[in-house]
Amino acid sequence: MTAGLDALPQQRQADVLAALCALETDSRPLPAASYRALAEPALREVVREMLATAGRVLVETGTGYTSGYDDGIADRLAEEGIGVLPPDDRAILALVLLFSVAIPRAEGKLAPEAPWTLGHPVPRQRLNGTKVPKGVVKAGLQRLQDAGITRNIGDSVRPGPQFDRLTPAMSTTIFEELLLLADPRGPLADAIRRRRASSTLASAESPVPGEEHHGH
């Protein structure tokens, strides 16, 4: 429980808890109108507060709200090897994202603001035509599908509902990694590396809170 939730009447507390449960379990973004705690700004802030206690954040998508990991928590989990896909599955997912989102965006066939889940369906046959063995592709796609990371559309595949749970910063990072993979020597890749280097340098030069030097 949090201070914000404790201060609410019992019925409003129930509204918040119902929205939280749905956010964490529903495979699709929730329309705000479906839950009072998402439709009303004051209650929505309590939802954010409750999610934050678990290292989670409220994620707004084009069709509603869902929840995901805070960027800092996600980075820490990855560093500890928690929730990290095995190499074969990462390779297959990278192919799906390249063919479904990165290439169509580069060709102007997919709007830059389009959700990952609206990427172009990728025929399985196209994935089988890569250097990844067919057996590995088949097994990996099944695991990715089971985890909601990809979604089957007939005999094709596209990014699944887990991509709706990405924060804007994490979504940008993944797309940049795809650009670096697809064209590592291109101008966009150079710009990404320069920006990241500049950001890292700025972070290193920033004083740690509490350790600033104060003159006398």
- Give me the DSSP letters along 152-187: EETTEEEE-GGGGG--HHHHHHHHHHHHHHH-TTSH
pTM metric for this prediction = 0.82
State the average pLDDT over residues 3-28.
95
For residue 118, the tally of other CB atoms under 10 A from its CB is 14
pLDDT score for 2: 82
Is pLDDT above 50 for 216? no
Which ranges of the chain would DSSP assign to H, the alpha helix? 3-6, 10-25, 36-39, 41-52, 71-79, 87-97, 103-106, 124-128, 134-146, 168-182, 187-205
Report yes or no: 157 and 188 within 8 Å, Cβ to Cβ: no
- pLDDT for position 6: 92
pLDDT digits (tens, 9 = 90+) for 37-76: 999 999 999 999 999 999 999 999 988 999 999 999 999 9
CA distance 136 to 216: 66
Give the confidence band of 192 by pLDDT, cuts at 50, 70, 90.
confident
Q: Does the pLDDT of residue 18 top 90, yes or no?
A: yes
Distance CA 190, CA 120 (A): 27
